């Protein structure tokens, strides 16, 4: 029992006093370190504390006393004495029952706090039934333990509800198991009784002496039977949750199907059949705990149960090994634990995150006006906190003031800047973490600093030679150059230039440092160069590219298409030069080569200044490269902490990242946490993927076609692209990762994203009918061709341009989400200011259709231009808005049950888009 080691502890308690008098030098490990255990085991206040949340499942074992059954995560908190805590919580429950005999025990929930030790727990007590246990009952408790009391107070309701759900699974599974056990036991008892009677009759004459014992046994047996029947009766009465039962049955069925299949496909079919015939299944599946008769099934066929004789005892014995939780609850355990893990995943996060999410949850209401993307992103909710009646009055009578447009445009610029700055801040943080990494490791390969101040350069005192690189003149020159770019392309966003500016500085510093560390001779060569500043500039550019290329080479990253001749030249020639340029001769050679390159480039660049465009792409790719190197370095220099830091940043960055349903509230699999995972790889691999994304965003069904061998790739692509799917629900058929054949065209109203298997011999043109091709975007994986409307707009191009700058999926996902949120905010404006304003209706008579539709189109594009949306983005916004309208209308008609008058959902919103074949 749990008090069994008390004497031992007392002995230990006294021992330190005695040990003071001991003179022999015992090794430290020989001296018993057992102290009187304090529940929180806080040996010293500074050292130990509960540093993380965890979930503890504890049991009051009739053999051992309170004990820990399991913790989530495994091991729980490192500085926390779980056993003692188990004792503590198991002593909390007060079940005051006066009833006699078997009865079902109610659950109880307790909040438990230990302010002194900063430990708080939410404990849910419940009892599971076990035929072998004392009183058929085994008390359990699930506790959510946290150092943050606010979490429990603030989310009491949620935690309580979720706990109840978890326990519901466990208990119901347990009841079913218990019922089965009892039924079998009852059959055993009946069988034993029958056998006893039979034996008695046959041996009646010879065994007269044992008659007393026989009757005694028979009485015991009958008492047992009555008791079991009573218990069974009350258990059966409580089994009313048919839904759950059905769920378990389905799980079991699925498991049976799975287990009947061979684990691996290494056997040929014939071999498998042979095995199937010769060996029983139980022998094949040699997993631990699998019993040959499949005793773990929750829904056994009792007709085939072979009763056994049972040992007749009047009293019950409690020394047998009790079943584990998974045996007690069967499928309930599986489901419950899964739910419990999700609960943990959700609540273990920081209080701030939870609160922000909680606030964001309000965006979910009303659901019909929420613009959702993928599984876990709500772009905006168009009718949150809006009085419908008020709104309705307003939208019919009010005129659209011009002021609104001005507001819109300012909002637009603001929101964009904020988006850009958020990225910058991310980079800044990144840099901060890098700096810290620098300070700890002492010698980083390159110190990357994103400091914007042109005066400051990171140069060590010893390398005075590099002054030329921090020359103000030079920087000014760069600035001028950038300004020229700006003039050249007026529409390009400021943010890009900001990045480029940063990048310039960044490159210079990187460059200078690398020079410093790599080959100082070369640097000296530059300083002594008699040529003018222009030359230096050019050399700089060349060398910058070279260095970037060099780093790339060293780190073994795939080459990025820089897109400029001079850079490529520089890379080709320069890398070798720097790498082997240790001797003076070679350095001179390199210098010569670079100088010749320089003179060529000067002319080239001057001619290109006006064009500007190419330059910008170059800059962007340079930026991409530098960012890439950065994140790489971070990886190299053991930047786990900084990675975590960025992750946190990203989490905080997502403006409205609210789960829409329960399933997302407690996401199923940690791997699936980020919807759209793998997109980075896809976007870098397939060049024209933005057109496909565009198709998804305008509601055009997308079919990814691949042969059977490409199943993995197709599924991968389709799953990654899911992030862009609007109004996606788990139960909807809008998303099919892998279909064996093409669904008929009228199902395309539902299916929006589909991976489909094409027979090897059939070409895509034959496989996909012309009508489908007209309605859907087709992505042929084999030929790497996309048949779709071309995207010409800003947002997705931005994404496409920046994709190379991301090393981590999370960053890209965040970027995507921010773009989606931005689009949603524009949709918000469009919806409120245009669609439900007087401008959206047009004239009341629909007499002159053509004229009206074209004038409507003009009005839409005018409005969109005012809120800063052009070209293809207009279609995206229109579709998003139509989605919302459709949702609202559907919701409205469904709530009124007037389904007959409900407007039909359109098959395609944009029918007349010109499609073309694109290579990717």
Provide the binding-site residues for another protein, judged by CB under 8 A. Answer: 388-389, 391-393, 395-396, 745-746, 769-772, 774-775, 835-836, 840-842, 846-857, 878, 882, 885-886, 888-889, 891-892, 903-904, 906-907, 909-912
Residue 373 beta carbon to another protein: minimum distance, rounded to whole angstroms: 21
Q: Which of 844, 825, 826, 837 is nearest to 401 (CA)?
A: 837
List the helix and strand counts (H, then E) for the chain.
33, 13
Whether cis (ω within 30° of 0) applies to the bond prior to 73 is: yes
Q: Which is nearer to another protein, 441 or 855 (CB)?
A: 855
Contact 650/811 with Cβ under 8 angstroms? yes
Buried b (16+ CB within 10 A) or exposed e, 514-545: bbbebbebbbebbeebeeeeebbbbbbbbbbb
Closest to another protein by CB, 8 or 848: 848
Nearer to another protein, 110 or 775 (CB): 775
Q: Considering the complex, what minimum distance in angstroms separates the CB of residue 252 from another protein?
A: 40
Q: Which of residues 96 and 900 has its CB atom nearest to another protein in the complex?
A: 900
Distance in Å, CB of 908 to another protein, minimum: 9
Smallest gap from Cβ 535 to another protein, in A, equals 57
Task: Estimate to the nearest angstrom the gap between the alpha carbon of 420 and the chain centroid.
Answer: 24
**Cross-strand bridge partners of residue 70:** 57
Residue 116 CB neighbours (<10 A):
9
Pick 788 or 888: Cβ nearer another protein: 888
CB of residue 396 to another protein, shortest distance in Å: 6
CB-based contact 663:345 (threshold 8 Å): no
DSSP code at position 52: S
Q: Give the β-pairing of 108-114 and 65-72.
A: unpaired
CB of residue 914 to another protein, shortest distance in Å: 11
Residue with tokens 């900001």: 498
Between residues 111 and 745, which has the closer beta carbon with respect to another protein? 745
Q: Which is nearer to another protein, 382 or 819 (CB)?
A: 382
The nearer residue to another protein, 759 or 906, going by C-beta atoms, is 906
Q: Taking the complex as a whole, how short is the minimal distance between the CB of residue 389 and another protein, in angstroms?
A: 6
* Beta carbons of 173 and 330 less than 8 angstroms apart: yes
- Min dist CB 411 to another protein, Å, is 22
Name the minimum Å distance from CB 368 to another protein.
8
| Six token digits for residue 139 | 């008390």
Q: Decide the pairing of beta strands 735-739 and 370-373.
A: unpaired
- For residue 906, the minimal CB distance to another protein (Å) is 7
For residues 492 and 543, the answer to whether their CB atoms sit within 8 Å is no
CB nearer to another protein: pick between 705 and 742? 742
Q: How far is the CB of 739 from another protein (least distance, A)?
A: 17
Nearer to another protein by C-beta: 397 or 640?
397
Kindly tell me the sign of the dihedral angle through the C-alpha atoms of 763, 767, 772, 777: negative
Helix/strand/coil (H, E, C) string of 221-275? HHHHHHHHHHHHHHHHHHCCCHHHHHHHHHHHHHHHHHHHCCCCCCCCHHHHHHH
State which residue, 17 or 847, has the beta carbon closest to another protein.
Answer: 847
CB closer to another protein out of 671 and 845: 845
The angle that helices 494-518 and 520-527 make with each other, rounded to 10 degrees, is 110
In this structure, which long-range contacts are made by residues 502-505, counting pairs with CB atoms below 8 Å and at least 24 apart in sequence? 502/424, 502/427, 502/450, 502/452, 502/623, 503/619, 503/622, 503/623, 503/626, 504/475, 504/478, 504/619, 505/450, 505/451, 505/452, 505/454, 505/475
Structure-token pair, residue 201: 């009759």
Structure tokens at 763: 């070409």
Residue 370 CB, nearest distance to another protein (Å)? Answer: 14
Q: Of 233 and 892, which has the nearer Cβ to another protein? A: 892
> Nearer to another protein by C-beta: 516 or 875?
875
What CA–CA distance (Å, rounded) separates 902 from 553? 62
**C-alpha count within 13 angstroms, C-beta hemisphere, residue 67:** 12
Give the C-alpha separation, 819 to 415, whole Å.
Answer: 11
Least separation in angstroms between CB 834 and another protein? 9
Beta carbon of residue 391, minimum distance to another protein (angstroms, whole number): 5
């Amino acid at each position: 029992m749990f008090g069994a080691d008390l004497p031992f502890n007392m002995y230990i308690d006294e021992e330190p006093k005695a040990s003071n008098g001991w003179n022999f030098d015992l090794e430290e490990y020989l001296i018993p370190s057992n102290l009187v255990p304090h529940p929180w085991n806080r040996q010293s206040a500074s050292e130990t504390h509960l540093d993380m949340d965890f979930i503890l499942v504890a049991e009051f074992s009739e053999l051992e006393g309170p004990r820990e059954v399991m913790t989530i995560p495994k091991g729980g908190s490192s500085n926390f004495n779980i056993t003692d805590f188990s004792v503590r919580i198991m002593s909390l429950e007060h079940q005051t029952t006066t009833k006699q005999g078997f009865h079902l025990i109610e659950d109880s929930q307790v909040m438990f706090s230990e302010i002194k030790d900063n430990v708080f727990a939410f404990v849910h007590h419940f009892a599971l039934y076990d035929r072998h246990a004392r009183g058929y009952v085994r008390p359990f408790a699930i506790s959510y333990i946290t150092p943050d009391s606010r979490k429990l107070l603030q989310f009491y309701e949620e935690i309580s509800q979720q706990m109840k759900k978890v326990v519901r699974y466990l208990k119901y599974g347990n009841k079913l198991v218990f019922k089965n056990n009892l039924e079998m036991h009852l059959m055993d008892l009946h069988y034993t009784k029958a056998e006893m009677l039979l034996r008695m009759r046959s041996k009646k004459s010879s065994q007269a002496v044992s008659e007393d014992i026989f009757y005694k046994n028979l009485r015991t047996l009958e008492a047992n039977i009555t008791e079991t029947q009573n218990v069974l009766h009350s258990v059966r009465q409580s089994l009313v949750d048919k839904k759950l039962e059905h769920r378990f049955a389905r799980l079991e069925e699925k498991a049976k199907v799975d287990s009947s299949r061979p684990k691996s496909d290494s056997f040929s079919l014939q071999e498998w059949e042979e095995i199937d015939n010769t060996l029983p299944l139980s022998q094949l599946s040699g997993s631990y705990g699998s019993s040959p008769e499949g005793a773990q099934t929750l829904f056994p066929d009792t007709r085939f149960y072979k009763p056994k004789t049972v040992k007749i005892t009047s009293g019950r014995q409690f020394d047998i090994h009790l079943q584990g939780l998974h045996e007690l609850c069967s499928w309930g355990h599986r489901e419950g634990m899964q739910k419990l893990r999700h609960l943990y995943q959700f609540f273990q996060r920081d209080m701030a995150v939870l609160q922000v999410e909680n606030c964001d949850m309000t965006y979910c209401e009303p659901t019909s006006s929420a613009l959702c993307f993928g599984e876990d992103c709500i772009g905006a909710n168009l009718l949150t906190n809006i009085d419908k009646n008020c709104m309705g009055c307003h939208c019919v009578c009010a005129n659209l003031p011009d002021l609104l447009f001005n507001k819109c445009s300012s909002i637009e610029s603001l929101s964009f800047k904020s988006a850009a700055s958020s990225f910058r801040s991310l980079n800044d943080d990144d840099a901060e973490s890098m700096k810290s990494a620098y300070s700890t490791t002492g010698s980083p390969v390159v110190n990357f600093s994103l400091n914007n101040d042109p005066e400051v350069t990171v140069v060590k005192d010893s390398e005075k030679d590099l002054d030329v690189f921090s020359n103000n003149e030079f920087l000014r020159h760069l600035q001028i150059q950038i300004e020229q770019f700006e003039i050249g392309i007026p529409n390009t966003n400021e943010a890009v230039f900001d990045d480029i500016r940063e990048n310039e500085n960044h490159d210079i510093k990187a460059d200078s440092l690398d020079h410093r560390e790599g080959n100082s001779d070369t640097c000296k060569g530059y300083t002594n160069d008699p040529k003018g500043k222009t030359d230096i500039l050019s050399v700089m550019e060349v060398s910058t590219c070279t260095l970037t290329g060099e780093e790339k080479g060293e780190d073994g990253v795939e080459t990025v298409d820089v897109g400029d001749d001079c850079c490529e030249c520089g890379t080709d020639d320069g890398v070798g030069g720097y790498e082997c340029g240790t001797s003076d001769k070679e350095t001179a050679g390199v210098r010569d080569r670079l100088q010749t390159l320089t003179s060529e480039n000067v002319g080239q660049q001057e001619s290109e200044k006006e064009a500007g465009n190419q330059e910008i792409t170059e800059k962007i790719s340079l930026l991409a490269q530098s960012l890439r190197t950065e994140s790489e370095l971070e990886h190299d220099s053991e930047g786990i902490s900084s990675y975590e830091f960025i992750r946190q940043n990203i989490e905080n960055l997502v403006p409205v990242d609210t789960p829409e349903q329960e399933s997302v509230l407690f996401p199923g699999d940690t791997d699936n946490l980020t919807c759209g995972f793998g997109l980075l790889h896809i976007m870098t691999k397939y060049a024209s993927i933005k057109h496909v994304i565009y198709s998804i965003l305008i509601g055009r069904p997308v079919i990814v076609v691949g042969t059977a061998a490409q199943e993995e790739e197709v599924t991968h692509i389709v799953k990654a692209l899911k992030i862009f799917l609007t109004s996606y629900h788990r139960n909807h058929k809008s998303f099919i990762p892998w279909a064996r054949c093409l669904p008929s065209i009228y199902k395309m109203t539902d299916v929006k994203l589909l991976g489909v298997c094409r027979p090897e011999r059939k070409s895509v043109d034959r496989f996909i009918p012309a009508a489908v091709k007209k309605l859907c975007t087709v992505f042929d994986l084999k030929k790497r061709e996309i048949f779709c409307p071309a995207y010409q707009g800003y947002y997705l191009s931005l994404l496409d341009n920046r994709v190379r700058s991301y090393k981590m999926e999370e960053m890209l996902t965040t970027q995507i989400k921010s773009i989606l949120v931005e689009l949603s905010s524009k949709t918000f404006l469009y919806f409120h200011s245009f669609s439900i304003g007087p401008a959206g209706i047009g004239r009341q008579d629909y007499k002159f259709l053509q004229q009206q539709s074209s004038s409507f189109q003009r009005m839409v594009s005018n409005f969109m231009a005012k809120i800063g949306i052009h070209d293809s983005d207009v279609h995206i916004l229109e579709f998003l808005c139509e989605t919302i309208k459709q949702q609202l209308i559907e919701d409205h008609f469904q709530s009124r049950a007037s389904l007959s008058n409900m407007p039909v959902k359109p098959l395609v919103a944009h029918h007349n888009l010109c499609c073309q074949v694109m290579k990717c």
